[in-house]
Amino acid sequence: METKAGDPGAFAHFDLARVPSPAFVVDEVAVRRNLEILADIRGRSGAKVLLALKAFSMWSLAPLIDEYLDGYCASGLWEARLAKEHFNGPISTYSPAYKAEDLAELCGISEHITFNNPAQIERWKNTFNQSLELDSSEIGLRINPQIPLGETEKYDPSQPHSRLGFPISQLQPDHFQHLSGIHFHNLCEQGFDALQRTWEKIEPIIAPHFGTLKWINLGGGHHITRDDYDRDALVGFLKDLKARSGCAIYLEPGEAVALDAGILVGEILDVFDNGMPVGITDISATCHMPDVIEAPYRPAMLGERLEGPAIRLGGPSCLAGDIIGDYILPEEPHIGQRIAFLDQAHYSMVKTNTFNGVPLPSIWLWNSEKDELKSVKSFDWTTFQDRLS
């Protein structure tokens, strides 16, 4: 996958030596800029905008996010608890499957609970556990539009044999009997055209039920805050859909909230030659940026030059595949050199792990307008120790 972001913004002037290494640095000014764009979409269209915590759950910024958005969407009990504990707004929860003990608590937390197929709804509502009061939350069904539009198949919710959502080809009128809403999520870092194509596939199936549905959730993956996104087209689409359907319309951006709002700072620990220059950094792809391996993709580097000899950068773990990529560094590679990767506020902090005892990056909040920098969270070796037995 090619990264769709990578604008350094104010980080072009940030002194990487100001924070320990490794460290995430999030610019709250950039987050506010993204939130203002989302709030403008919300205001002009009448749609409701939720933050997808799976992408960005930096709860120290909750007061800022609460100012602009309508609520939060969770992927399970722990994210729902996080939203309830630290954020202020309605919570919508979707999971491919639920445990009985989790669902009982989620009913008291969530405004909407979305199920993955109609059989789940029947099982939980009627047969499995009569003590669960599902009517305390509005029930939604996630559908699979079965229209693959993603760049990488394994990241595409409409991939063949997908586990996410009920196939739209199997949807029947009686499946709408207990539903308050329909949810779909078919995008990944995409523009308005992908949403429009997805909806064109869905509308003929959903439109006959506009009179009974209360809400339609268009999911996430919308790169609304990217400069080339057609936001006017989105506003027109949302207004029209809201008017024609009579439903409340929801968007669940995650990445868009933190797009180009954070960097991951690291240090080169060693440089040697093995057919090309190789550098070992204290940033690990497998521990700190798993999507580099899973997607895979190549993160943009702050200040990377266009010409010159490349060096292969990898992490300090024993995993042979702990490779970040090949880069032309801002200056001649040397031990102790600071580097930073761009657009790391989303889907990096939420995925970090301590495999191989690799330390977690500390987390810092920077106000690029006031040049105020503060430590939000740091980790010591007990973080690794305490998750083991």
**Per-residue pLDDT tens digits for 130-181:** 445 565 679 999 999 999 998 888 889 999 999 999 999 999 999 998 899 9
Contact 202, 218 (CB under 8 A): no
Task: Tell me, yes or no, whether 207 and 274 share the same domain.
Answer: no
| Domain end call among 257, 276, 293 | 257
Task: Tell me, yes or no, whether 114 and 209 share the same domain.
Answer: yes
**CATH at residue 102:** 3.20.20.10
Asked if the structure places residue 296 within a domain, the reply is: yes
- The predicted-structure confidence for 9-20, as pLDDT tens digits, reads as follows 999 999 999 999
Q: How far is CA 14 from CA 25, 236, 265, 343, in A?
A: 10, 39, 11, 14
Q: What is the pLDDT of residue 64?
A: 98
SS3 at position 127: helix
What residues make up the domain containing 148?
A: 46-257
Asked if the structure places residue 80 within a domain, the reply is: yes
Query: Which segments in the chain show pLDDT lower than 70?
Result: 1-4, 126-136
Task: Tell me, yes or no, whether 367 and 325 share the same domain.
Answer: yes
Task: Tell me, yes or no, whether 281 and 205 share the same domain.
Answer: no
Alpha helix (H) ranges present in the chain?
Answer: 28-45, 62-68, 77-86, 100-109, 118-122, 192-206, 231-245, 255-258, 285-288, 291-294, 382-386
Q: What is the pLDDT of residue 2?
A: 63
Task: Tell me, yes or no, whether 160 and 269 share the same domain.
Answer: no
Note if the pTM is more than 0.85.
Answer: yes
Give dist(CA 62, CA 65) in Å, integer: 5
Asked if the structure places residue 39 within a domain, the reply is: no
Asked if the structure places residue 294 within a domain, the reply is: yes
Q: How far is CA 169 from CA 148, 150, 202, in A?
A: 14, 20, 10
CB atoms within 10 A of CB 140: 25
Task: Tell me, yes or no, whether 125 and 70 share the same domain.
Answer: yes
Asked if the structure places residue 2 within a domain, the reply is: no
Task: Tell me, yes or no, whether 79 and 214 share the same domain.
Answer: yes
Task: Tell me, yes or no, whether 55 and 128 share the same domain.
Answer: yes
